[in-house]
Structure 1
């Protein structure tokens, strides 16, 4: 992969995992797919199917902060062998605080009386973009606090920085591309003349 792409490399993942995977690696560097407010809007549209006004720059910062916090929570939860296996407690607690705080941005429905009828009225305490990020954070809280957290895996293919939910017992990598890369490297090691 030479640069950002329009779609996810790992499909059918929960929104928090998809957000974590907006950091990708190619042959040269780590690539951030959330490079602009427009990129954040496109990601939100892809995840929710809803239209959004252009996010404010502060919302882009909040989305990246949430993503980075989720990646740290995932690394701790999975014992991710790709990086440092010890994380300072204060960093982990800060990441958890970011996730919990962002989850509080969700829109909520209040019951109201209108024309003699009880109706639900959606109340935004933040912008629709921030509320959508709140939904993602809330989904992350439910994911990491529940049994689904046991299915989260780091992709351990060379140069891969992605996470995936293991949906099949034999699944080892985030995508066929990573699996092919690992198999090709193994094959090359077997047939390469020993020097």
Structure 2
């Protein structure tokens, strides 16, 4: 799987919707890194985030469904972070993922574990279930107590989302913060040189 060369943004470990939204990023120099750029990489991403079992193999149309959901999430998270209305298409996309599969975990008996609840779905619905889980997480995040802490990294060109760990946090990583501080120092130096 292609790996984004930055540490995870705050909140991605707790929120698979942020992890999916941040599975594409613009790096300094304008390079776009996409962790879902092939069916194999999309499969590896789902496995890594415990949304699919090892040995799963996605087809191209499943990968495209996942990248479509990512774009809908990015639109809704951006709207939340910037205080404007998300597109109706993105709302429809997330709602479609929420309602595409039955979400109730069924009751089963396991000879080792006794009574357990597990989601029961055929492998063909695996991506739909993963997307429903991600969409549920997104709906809970943007309507829950952390909603006002959703932010986009303030260090251009980085376009990752995060849940701010404190009010003054502006960057998704120390690397982005250091780059932003260096850019500001360089700009001040240029202004001083131009004025003098």
Instruction: Give TM-score scaled by structure 1 length.
Output: 0.80
Answer yes or no: is 1:97 the counterpart of 2:92: yes
Report the Cα offset of residue 112 of structure 1: 6.5
For residues 33 and 89 of structure 2, what CA distance do their matches in structure 1 show?
Answer: 24
2:88 is paired with a residue whose SS is helix
Partner of 2:104: 108
Structural mapping, 1:99-138, within 5 Å: 99-104=94-99, 105=101, 107-111=103-107, 120=117, 122-124=119-121, 127-138=125-136
Structural mapping, 1:105-184, within 5 Å: 105=101, 107-111=103-107, 120=117, 122-124=119-121, 127-184=125-182
Does the 8 A contact of 1:78 with 1:152 survive in 2?
A: yes
Q: Which of the numbers 56, 63, 66 marks the counterpart of 2:66?
A: 63
For residues 42 and 106 of structure 1, what CA distance do their matches in structure 2 show?
Answer: 24
1:124 is paired with a residue whose SS is coil
Report the Cα offset of residue 25 of structure 1: 0.6
Deviations 1:7-52 (A, max 9, x none): 6642451110111111111213333221111111111122117425
For residues 48 and 63 of structure 1, what CA distance do their matches in structure 2 show?
Answer: 15
Q: Which runs of 5+ in 1 are unaligned?
A: 81-85
Does the 8 A contact of 2:47 with 2:54 survive in 1?
A: yes
Instruction: Give TM-score scaled by structure 2 length.
Output: 0.80
Partner of 1:19: 20
With CA pairs under 8 Å and 6+ residues apart, which has the higher RCO, 1 or 2? 2
For residues 161 and 73 of structure 1, what CA distance do their matches in structure 2 show?
Answer: 14
Q: Which runs of 5+ in 2 are unaligned?
A: none
Report the Cα offset of residue 118 of structure 1: 7.1
1:16 is paired with a residue whose SS is helix
For residues 6 and 183 of structure 2, what CA distance do their matches in structure 1 show?
Answer: 24
Does the 8 A contact of 1:154 with 1:164 survive in 2?
A: yes
